[in-house]
Amino acid sequence: MTDALLLTFIFLVAGIISVPIASRLGLGSVLGYLLAGIIISPLLTLLNVDIASLQHFAELGVVLMLFLVGLELNPKKLWALKSKLLGLGGGQVALTAAFVMGIGMLLNQDWRTSLAVGLVLALSSTAIVIQSLNEKGLMKSDGGQSSFAVLLAQDIVVIPMLAFIPLLASPELLDALSHSAEQAGSHADSTSFLSDLASWQRTLVTLGAVAIVILGGSFLATPVFRFIAVAQLRELFTATALMFVIGTTLLMSFVGLSPALGTFLAGVVLANSPYRHELESDIEPFKGLLLGLFFMTVGAGINFALLFSDFLSILGLTLGLILIKVLTLLLLGRIFHIRGSNRWLFALGLAQAGEFGFVLLSFTVSNGVISQALSDILLLIVALSMLLTPILFILYDKVIAPRYAADQTAGHYDEIPEDNKIIIAGSGRVGSTIDAILRLADYPSTVIDFNVKRLQALEPFGVKNYFGDATRPDLLHAAGIDEASLLIIAIDDPEQTTKLVKYVTEHYPHLHIIARAFDNKHVYDLWSYGCRDIIRENFDSSLRMGRSAFQALGFSDEKSEKMVKVFRRHDKRSMVEVADAHQIGVPFHENKQFIQRVRKYMEDNNPELKAKMKRIKEQKE
């Protein structure tokens, strides 16, 4: 008990100290966790901690992440990715494996060994890439979506890899492994059920497991969650959500499938569930903690003795792998028309080896495909490539992206006009409607969005949009923000909206900003950073529904409208009155000053408000 608590405390302290420092330095949380693992690795060695076993447990964080990603999709969206899954994903694995195999044979390695190494190193890190893309708000960009498609394809291709790799076994290595039959036997015990079946029976069992996940998610999950919800215990719902994910993981592992793929499929099945948002909010904290633990185990698992014994060779091989994958991905990006900075995001983001490489390397050794000595070197290459990935994202942010600030996806779009005085950030449902309103009144605007497909879809209708991430200072400058008089922020991401408001109010105080807010807390955050024209996205529709409620209660249209106007004025005045008590990052219910200010305002003004409502209700028509 004490040992477990001590180990937990060490990892928590390491993460709490290193990640905020790394984030403040612009290095990102992933690199912070990796560095934390490196720093505490001597202490873990002193305590005789089994890093490999801890890493297997922490891989549950990757599984939870894929489940949450699946919740964001639905079968229709997944089907839309089929060309990228087959073309980009399949092409990336095949080309990378072929290139690595060729280089391995040039280095006098057996072709079977070289092919196995190529397959292992072709996989990329789902955990690091998706985490980094989400942190930087790039997941919805073309580069982010293409990266996600490749990662998903890699999870799928692991299944045939597990069946194919044993066929590459070397007779010499199999003979050398004969003395470790006990270890091989213990490995076989976990899969003895499947190993005793014929190939067609194993196929049926595998298909049955997938069917259980799909049918269970479609027909069983919702009644179960509805039954649990009756108890009105948040922790019970959380336990049920974790039980569902872990049960799917166990089932997939039992039949030899990728647990991450299985839970992703479960998430897709539940994407349209009424409990989707509750599932997301309950699982998110566990996902974050376990992913952080996983990244720290990667850093702590680096064999520094072996690394420093042949540092230049291992570093050279790692950089060579990254170069091969970057060139391969750039080639595929060109073939599949990924343009501009998105192509570099796609190439640099996926240039590392992946966490599943640790599993496959152990698998190849136990099946006599590669030697233990080679496996140790490859484990270092996998870990180092993952460690360098956040640096590649920094290279993209600081060097690559600014060069494409004014590049409208390889010249496909016109240059951003310099005489426009209105800039709209985001061309979704809100931004495109605002643009249409302004253009009808002869007020042309510059609309910026990083979704190329959305921009291309609007172009045939005569809507001129411009590619780019509106939160980037260099792109704002290229869009003419120095001369603009109005900035309308219609981005569908609260964090990105807040980031943009903070930057613009600090550097362009003369500029009038109209910002889209997502809830009351977001309103106060934007107000704290200096924005004074804030529109809550659901506020006007809520007022209209309130007016309809009064009408349904028998009041005339005129009285209903008057009562809603009274509330609108009251709401606006109340938010202004209490705004300075808001503290960014502190929930309303934990901010004592804010609670006191709200209660005082209600005590002072609610009687007057109720009196106004009463007078309107009693007025004669």
Of 374, 402, 430, which closes a domain? 402
Percent of the chain with pLDDT over 90: 12
Question: Are residues 354 and 301 part of one domain?
Answer: yes
| Higher pLDDT among residues 247 and 585, named by residue | 247
Is 16 within a domain? no
Cα(117)–Cα(136) distance, integer angstroms: 32
pLDDT at 187: 44
Of 515, 537, 559, which closes a domain? 537
Question: Are residues 176 and 317 part of one domain?
Answer: yes
Name which of 101-105, 197-201, 278-282, 312-316 the model is least confident about: 197-201
Helix 340-349 to helix 126-135 angle (10° resolution) is 140
Is the pLDDT at 318 greater than 60, yes or no?
yes
- What the block records as the tokens of 130 is 């998706």
pLDDT at 360: 79
Mean of pLDDT values over 176-199: 53
Cα(287)–Cα(68) distance, integer angstroms: 9
CATH code at 441? Answer: 3.40.50.720
User: pLDDT tens for residues 223-276?
Assistant: 887 788 677 676 787 888 888 888 888 888 787 776 777 787 788 788 777 677
Is 299 within a domain? yes
Residue ranges making up the domain that contains 614: 538-621
**Residues in CB range of 556: below 8 A, 6 or more apart:** 621
pLDDT at 188: 43
Residue listed under structure tokens 């949380």: 29
Question: Are residues 475 and 584 part of one domain?
Answer: no
Contact of 462 with 399, CB cutoff 8 Å: no
Percent of the chain with pLDDT over 70: 85
- What the block records as the tokens of 547 is 């007016």
Mean of pLDDT values over 37-49: 88
The pTM of the whole model exceeds 0.85 = no
DSSP H or E stretch at residue 257: none
Is the pLDDT at 448 greater than 90, yes or no?
no
Cα(388)–Cα(382) distance, integer angstroms: 10
| Higher pLDDT among residues 489 and 190, named by residue | 489
Is 3 within a domain? no
Is 35 within a domain? no
Cα(345)–Cα(450) distance, integer angstroms: 13
Cα(357)–Cα(370) distance, integer angstroms: 13
Of 356, 373, 402, which closes a domain? 402
Is 547 within a domain? yes
Is 131 within a domain? yes
pLDDT at 122: 93
Mean of pLDDT values over 608-621: 83
Is 407 within a domain? no
Question: Are residues 543 and 396 part of one domain?
Answer: no
Is the pLDDT at 418 greater than 70, yes or no?
no
pLDDT at 618: 82
Question: Are residues 118 and 251 part of one domain?
Answer: yes
pLDDT at 103: 92
Question: Are residues 465 and 360 part of one domain?
Answer: no
Q: How confident is the model at residue 419 (pLDDT cuts 50, 70, 90)?
A: low
User: pLDDT tens for residues 382-414?
Assistant: 888 988 888 898 888 888 877 775 444 433 334
Name which of 87-96, 132-141, 458-467 the model is least confident about: 458-467
Question: Are residues 243 and 106 part of one domain?
Answer: yes
User: pLDDT tens for residues 93-150?
Assistant: 999 999 999 998 998 888 999 999 999 999 998 878 887 887 777 777 788 888 988 9
> End-to-end distance of the chain based on CA atoms, in angstroms?
75
Question: Are residues 380 and 272 part of one domain?
Answer: yes
Is 27 within a domain? no
| Higher pLDDT among residues 323 and 593, named by residue | 323
Q: How confident is the model at residue 52 (pLDDT cuts 50, 70, 90)?
A: confident
Question: Are residues 56 and 113 part of one domain?
Answer: yes
Mean of pLDDT values over 533-544: 87
Q: What beta strand segments (E) does 286-439 contain?
A: 422-425
pLDDT at 232: 64
CB atoms within 10 A of CB 260: 28
Question: Are residues 523 and 423 part of one domain?
Answer: yes
Question: Are residues 457 and 575 part of one domain?
Answer: no
Mean pLDDT of the chain: 81
pLDDT at 93: 92
Question: Are residues 530 and 590 part of one domain?
Answer: no
Number of domains comprising the chain: 3
CB atoms within 10 A of CB 146: 27
**Highest-scoring range by mean pLDDT, 29-33, 178-182, 565-569, 590-594:** 565-569
CATH code at 211? Answer: 1.20.1530.20
CB atoms within 10 A of CB 583: 14
